[in-house]
């Protein structure tokens, strides 16, 4: 499709502005099971999203056909615009003055043969099984690779593009002892293929599963709790809508009207970063062409700003924060690399002076057991009993509950093990003064 020709034609048709957003990707999915290839699928896709303003109304059209007739596109857009009755103001962005430095990394994925990628998974599966005789099954061992580009071009002269490529390996191990089975997952994200080490991944996931064996419940009471980084990320993710301008417009966040107020412990800072080392989620600009930039969403406990796209920024009479990203055709609000700022302590240092407490490593059912409007949560959990500052034994069949805002005000220490996941959300391990634990 000739995008520049489409833009010129739109001007002749009376459109005041038009924008084309193009996302092209190649996804490769491979999995093995019991020494055999279970799945091997590669898929190329192109998504073209067009929005245009006609008679003051914004019309939208999406297609995957790069040979779509330009006249038909403009006809449809015009018809859609004329059918709208909203009084909302619309905007197509002319571009930011500057954008963060972003360098596309050649991860070498396209240079690696399919046979080598399969071999990596087979080695991984073999190593997991060989780690310990108590490992009885590797239910999933998979590789996913993404090579993606996006481009934004509009009638205001904006022309931006960004490319990225990355891969991640997911392994699951199941261990059994004394009629009890436990499972564990490990996800390894890398920007470069050569950084994927099947032996290290295998050892981590197998060790996780073995350490959980012979777990038991605990008496119900309030315990000092350390939530490990991956579980803490899962908990944080559920409540990231607190910081969304969309939630603020709908009055679905408890932080509405609290800019400048202390909402969390002074130990807590929430940062949104456009480019973070080794993250696969880096973005120099959002899907509306607005520059992404470093922002303190919460700084030392003080709520500083909601994240906005153009629409929510207009509602609050402020500027977009470069957080407008497409989801299902529409532009929503989300962070780029949104994370809780890490501290300086290791997990061992977080637990060393706890007489009796719990290290939580897994949270299950959070999306069903959490209320992203009030902050209340309840989740089935597992982890380890802490006795006299050391890991004592594994625990399971417990439920941790509380309120996210209250918990964020009960923080004693923060770990140094920040890990940003494939969704761009991250958290370090955090020690809480006390959280209610339901056990036996």
H-helix segments, 133-228? 198-211
pLDDT score at 195: 96
pLDDT score at 382: 96
pLDDT score at 357: 97
The label of the residue with tokens 């859609």 reads 80
298: nearest Cα among 393, 427, 165: 427
CB 134 within 8 A of CB 179: no
Q: Please count the CA atoms within 13 angstroms of the CA of 409 that sit on its side-chain side.
A: 9
Which conformational region is residue 66 in: left (phi greater than 0), alpha (psi within -120 to 50 degrees), or beta?
Answer: alpha
The label of the residue with tokens 């982890």 reads 383
Q: Please count the CA atoms within 13 angstroms of the CA of 227 that sit on its side-chain side.
A: 28
433: nearest Cα among 225, 233, 235, 218: 225
pLDDT by 10s per residue, the chain, length 440: 899 999 999 999 999 999 999 999 999 999 999 999 999 999 999 999 999 999 999 999 999 999 999 999 999 999 999 999 888 889 999 999 999 999 888 999 999 999 999 999 999 999 999 999 999 999 999 999 999 999 999 999 999 999 999 999 999 999 999 999 999 999 999 999 999 999 999 999 999 999 999 999 999 999 999 999 999 999 999 999 999 999 999 999 999 999 999 999 999 999 999 999 989 999 999 999 999 999 999 999 999 999 999 999 999 999 999 999 998 778 999 999 999 999 999 999 999 999 999 999 999 989 889 999 999 999 999 999 999 999 999 999 999 999 999 999 999 999 999 999 889 999 999 999 999 999 98
Q: How many Cβ atoms from other residues are within 10 Å of residue 74's Cβ?
A: 23
Report the alpha-carbon distance of residue 283 to residue 291 in Å, rounded: 9
pLDDT score at 330: 84
The pTM score is: 0.94
Report the alpha-carbon distance of residue 246 to residue 372 in Å, rounded: 13
Report the alpha-carbon distance of residue 224 to residue 263 in Å, rounded: 21
- Just give the CATH number of 3-209: 3.30.2290.10
pLDDT score at 86: 85
pLDDT score at 132: 97
Q: Where in the chain is the domain with CATH 3.30.2290.10?
A: 3-209
pLDDT score at 118: 97
Centroid of chain to Cα 344: 24
pLDDT score at 87: 84
The β-bridge relationship of strands 376-387 and 390-403 is antiparallel
């Amino acid at each position: 499709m000739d995008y520049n020709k489409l833009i010129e034609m739109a001007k002749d048709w009376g459109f005041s502005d038009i924008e084309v957003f193009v996302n092209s990707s190649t996804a490769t999915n491979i999995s093995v099971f019991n020494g055999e290839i279970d799945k091997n699928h590669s898929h190329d896709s192109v998504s073209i999203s067009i929005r245009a303003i006609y008679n003051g109304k914004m019309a939208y059209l999406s297609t995957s056909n790069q040979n779509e007739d330009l006249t038909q596109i403009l006809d449809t857009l015009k018809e859609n615009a004329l059918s709208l009755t909203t009084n909302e103001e619309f905007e197509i962005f002319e571009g930011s003055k500057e954008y963060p430095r972003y360098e596309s990394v050649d991860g070498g994925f396209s240079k690696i043969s399919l046979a080598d990628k399969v071999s990596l998974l087979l080695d991984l599966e073999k190593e997991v099984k060989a780690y310990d005789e108590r490992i009885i099954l590797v239910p999933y061992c998979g590789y996913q690779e993404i090579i993606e580009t996006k481009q934004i071009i509009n009638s205001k002269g904006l022309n931006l593009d960004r490319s990225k490529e990355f891969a991640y390996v997911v392994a699951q191990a199941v261990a059994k002892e004394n009629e009890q089975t436990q499972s564990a997952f490990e996800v390894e994200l890398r920007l470069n293929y050569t950084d994927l080490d099947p032996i290290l991944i295998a050892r981590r996931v197998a060790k996780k599963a073995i350490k959980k064996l012979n777990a038991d419940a605990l008496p119900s009471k309030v315990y000092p709790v350390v939530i490990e980084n991956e579980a803490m990320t899962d908990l944080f993710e559920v409540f990231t809508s607190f910081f969304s301008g969309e939630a603020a417009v709908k009055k679905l966040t408890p932080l509405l009207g609290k800019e400048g107020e202390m909402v969390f412990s002074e130990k807590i800072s929430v940062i949104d970063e456009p480019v973070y080392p080794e993250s696969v989620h880096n973005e120099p600009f959002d899907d509306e062409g607005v520059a992404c930039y470093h922002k303190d969403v919460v700084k030392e406990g003080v709520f500083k700003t909601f994240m906005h796209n153009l629409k929510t920024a207009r509602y609050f009479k402020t500027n977009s924060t470069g957080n407008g990203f497409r989801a299902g055709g529409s532009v929503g609000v989300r962070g780029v690399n949104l994370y809780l700022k890490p501290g300086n302590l290791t997990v061992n240092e977080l637990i060393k002076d706890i007489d009796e407490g719990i290290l939580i490593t897994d949270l299950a059912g959070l999306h069903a057991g959490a209320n992203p409007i009030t902050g209340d949560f309840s989740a089935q959990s597992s982890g380890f009993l802490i006795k006299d500052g050391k890991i004592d034994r594994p625990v399971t069949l417990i439920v941790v509950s509380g309120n996210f805002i209250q918990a964020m005000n009960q923080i004693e220490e923060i770990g140094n093990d920040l890990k940003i996941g494939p969704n761009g959300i991250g958290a370090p391990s955090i020690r809480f003064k006390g959280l209610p634990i339901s056990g036996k």
